[in-house]
Amino acid sequence: MERQQAAFAMGQRYIGAGASEGRYSLRQVPGNALGAYLDGARIEVFCNAQDATGDTMNAGEIIIHGSVGDAAGYAMRGGSIYIEKDAGYRCGIHMKEYEGKVPQIVIGGRCGSFLGEYQAGGILLVLGIGWEDRCPVGNFCGTGMHGGKIYLRTTHLPPDLPEQVAVNPASSRDQDQLRPLIQKYCACFGGEADHLLSSHYYVLTPNTKNPYHQLYVNN
């Protein structure tokens, strides 16, 4: 039987750090580094969370019924984070794919500046629910990006996308990648997956001519 643990959370840091099994259910706001180095356990938070949620997590799942602070998924290497509402600055910074694992972060609302900064792999999806009339991300989206994908559900692109980021409307193949993420989001928080899937999406990927290309690809 899978172990389930209810943790006292009010401001406590490092809850679930390194956990490889079990389920953690939190109903008070945890402190920084919730699920840091998570390695397979499942953490569900029925309120907001603070900074560095999922720092360097390797596997497992974090579900936030609310908003999350800065640097969610910092250097994340695997697993998934689902955020019902908004995320702060530098979400997904230094995300990377590791040994075949593809980390995923889904944000239901909007995200602050520097989304996907130096992203090297994985998937970031911003649904922008409630922000359909404006851009759902802050400044400097994708700065230093050299791997992975950023999906934005919007018709309003950030005005300051860096030169090393290529932007295109999502293709049918992208839709296939988005579908299970959106279905999972709706299963966690409610909503109509088909309605969200019928929206317009942009996909941001590294431009192969970007100035960081020579650092990560052998010529």
Residue pair 69/91 in contact (Cβ under 8 Å)? The answer is no
Q: For residue range 82-106, what is the model confidence (pLDDT) as tens digits?
A: 999 999 999 999 999 988 899 999 9
Mean pLDDT of the chain: 92
CATH assignment of 4-216? Answer: 2.160.20.60
How does residue 212 score in pLDDT terms, banded at 50, 70 and 90? low
Domain locations in the chain as residue ranges: 4-216
Is residue 194 exposed (0-12), middle (13-18) or buried (19+ Cβ within 10 Å)?
A: exposed
128-187 tens-digit pLDDT:
999 999 999 999 999 999 999 999 999 999 999 988 899 999 999 999 999 999 999 999
| Phi-psi category of residue 13: left, alpha or beta, with phi > 0 → left and psi -120 to 50 → alpha | beta
pTM of the shown model: 0.92
